[in-house]
Amino acid sequence: MDTLSDNALMQKVKDGDFDKMSLLYERHYRQLFGYLFKMTKQKEASEDMVQNVFFRMLKYRNSFKGGGEFRTWMYHVARNVLNDHYHNAKRIPSNTDLHEFEGRMEEGMPADEKIEKEQAVETLMKAMEKLSEDNRELLILCRYQDLKYQEIAQILNTSEAAIKVRVHRAMNELKSAFLKIEN
């Protein structure tokens, strides 16, 4: 059963085989957590939101049409959960769990390389925070979640060409912010 596509698994869930949701959870937990964490910088809230995304996918399973990619539908649900989080929390994302999520550097790496890499990651995260929420989300979906432009266009209800332009502009803005912080 593990070889079923995400769409086929979700169709089974839609048809009442709720156990298949656990396979979808196993496949997509890390990806969703990464997206939500990069948007909020809050580990516990992101974990809660992942649970909420899967709960909503189960609750609203009949809205899954199966014509498009499961991942696209999943990110629509995730964006709604994220919007609800911001609406309910009425606060700007903080940086509290950033280093915990980034993980430990490789053990065998020389100390100077470790420090340089840590500084580059920290500068990049600061630069990401300087971006508008829309541009940050766009880059997270594109660069961190490895979604294709077409998938992002479906999630954001726009054209693929518009996404290409927006990603290009967001990358330029990120580069500019990174260089300002670095200097």
Query: Domains along the chain?
Result: 6-89 (1.10.1740.10), 108-182 (1.10.10.10)
Q: What is the pLDDT of residues 109-126, one digit of tens each?
A: 566 676 777 777 788 888
pLDDT of residue 92 exceeding 70: no
Q: What angle do CA 117, 120, 126 make, to 5 degrees?
A: 140
pLDDT at 100: 46
Per-residue model confidence (pLDDT) at position 34: 93
| Length of the chain measured in residues | 183
Identify the helix (H) or strand (E) that includes residue 120.
Answer: helix 111-130
Residue 31 neighbours by CB under 8 Å, 6+ apart: 145
pLDDT for the residue numbered 79: 93
pLDDT at 114: 66
